[in-house]
A and B are shown apart, each in its own frame.
Chain A
Amino acid sequence: MIPVADYYVVASVLFAIGAAGFLTRKNLLVMFMSVELMLNAANLVLLAASSTHDLGRGSAMALVSVAVAAAEVGVGLAIIIALFRLRASVDAEEMTNLHG
């Protein structure tokens, strides 16, 4: 039995890598992939924590989170396509419409 803390450390590393990618990259698609990394890390913590209590309910909750992630990816990529049509670019630094 692997200690739960080991899973937490792996998930923390994945989350931090995702956060670093989101904060440092300018390509909207790669930023979006980083968000997916963070979501996966959160799911891993959820399952690791539930493995010492009730893995069935933890899995059910993680499954709902996967469904939300799937919906989110669809909407996010549609927005990126719409932005690309508007600007011919996926550079986050060019999206300054709301800059005032």
Chain B
Amino acid sequence: MDALIDPTLLTRIAFYFFSALSIVAALFVVVHRNPIVSAVALVMTFLGVAGLYLTLGATFLTAVQILVYAGAIMVLFLFVIMLLNLEKDPFEEPHVPRLLGAGLAIALLFGLVAVLGGTVAVGTSIRSGSAEEIGKIFFGEYIFPFEMASLLLLVAMIGVIVVARRSDGKEAL
């Protein structure tokens, strides 16, 4: 049976759309001087990357990306920005270290594309990226990394409370 629209074409369109979304939003994150705009642009980048995961077939990771990054991590960022009540960065003239940093990043881009851009990989995955498969992997073969991740999150939570609270007992920042 012929499909009305070619599914591989749809995947391709989705790939280009989400790539463009994530790259343009990433540029906004880096270039914009208002940190709140940077944070909102970062959400768009995360959503774009989530879309790219979807075109790869990694459905569970797409959900995790949206829940953890676009949900939890962004709320944390926005909360801290508003807690600190930051103003816009004052306008800065480009000076030598910044130009050097930008040049280094461009060199890194060319290096990465030169190394990775020519990769030819054929074949398909022997397993899908569904929640069922990942659950089987985590609660079987990779139970130790799974438990270590939980322990890491617990330790990080306690550490954050210790570092961020005021030592003199007052509640305001």
For residue A8, which residues in chain B have a CB less than 8 angstroms away from its CB? 112-113, 116-117, 119
Interface residues of A in 41-89 (CB under 8 A from B): 43-45, 47-60, 62-64, 66-75, 77-82, 84-85
Q: A14-B23, A21-B30, A29-B81 are in contact. Are A5 and B160 (CB under 8 A)?
A: no
Interface residues of B in 24-74 (CB under 8 A from A): 26-27, 29-30, 35, 38-39, 42, 45-46, 49, 52-53, 55-58, 60-61, 64-65, 68-69, 72-73
Q: A2-B55, A52-B124, A81-B80 are in contact. Are A16 and B108 (CB under 8 A)?
A: yes
A29–B74 alpha-carbon span in the complex (Å): 12
Q: Is A12 a contact of B109 with CB atoms below 8 Å?
A: yes
* Number of residues on chain B facing chain A (CB within 8 A): 87
For residue A72, which residues in chain B have a CB less than 8 angstroms away from its CB? 156
Q: Which residues of A contact B (CB under 8 A)?
A: 1-27, 29-30, 32-34, 36-37, 40, 43-45, 47-60, 62-64, 66-75, 77-82, 84-85, 90
- Beyond the given pairs A36-B73, A58-B58, 18 more chain A to chain B contacts, judged by CB atoms under 8 angstroms and listed by A's residue number, are A5-B118, A8-B113, A12-B117, A19-B105, A23-B100, A34-B30, A36-B42, A45-B116, A48-B56, A53-B126, A55-B127, A58-B129, A70-B73, A70-B153, A70-B156, A74-B157, A74-B160, A78-B164
Q: Which residues of B contact A (CB under 8 A)?
A: 8, 11-12, 15, 19, 22-23, 26-27, 29-30, 35, 38-39, 42, 45-46, 49, 52-53, 55-58, 60-61, 64-65, 68-69, 72-73, 76-77, 80-81, 83-84, 86, 89, 92, 98, 100-102, 104-106, 108-109, 112-113, 116-130, 133-134, 136-138, 142, 145-146, 149, 152-153, 155-157, 159-160, 163-164, 166, 173
